[in-house]
Amino acid sequence: MKTKLMNFRIPEHLKVNLDHLTNMKGVTKTSIMIQLLESYVRDELIHTKNDLTHAHQIQSGNTWNNKPTPTTRWEESYMDGLDRWSS
């Protein structure tokens, strides 16, 4: 696997806490960062794919498989509510 050096700034308190955790667990900061990045990228790709699928459905007019949601007339819902109180 090819690798690439990546440098970035981090708040001091996070670095101190990360140093303590890596020393306690006996793992490297690199391994933790790679694990976190892999998890983030995997989750975001899934979310992006879902977002694109929904966007394509909306653009094509196929939102929710074109199944109309059943609607209840307000009179029926009002009568249902009265029935509950009359018992």
Tens of pLDDT along 4-61? 999 999 999 999 999 999 999 999 999 999 999 999 999 998 888 888 887 777 777 7
| Tokens encoding 29 | 């900061």
Predicted pLDDT at 85: 57
Closest CA to 18 of 3, 38, 33: 33
pLDDT, tens only, 67-82: 656 666 666 666 555 5
In whole angstroms, give the CA distance from residue 22 to residue 33: 11
Asked if 32 and 22 count as a contact pair (C-beta separation under 8 A), the reply is yes
Closest CA to 31 of 41, 42, 45, 21: 21
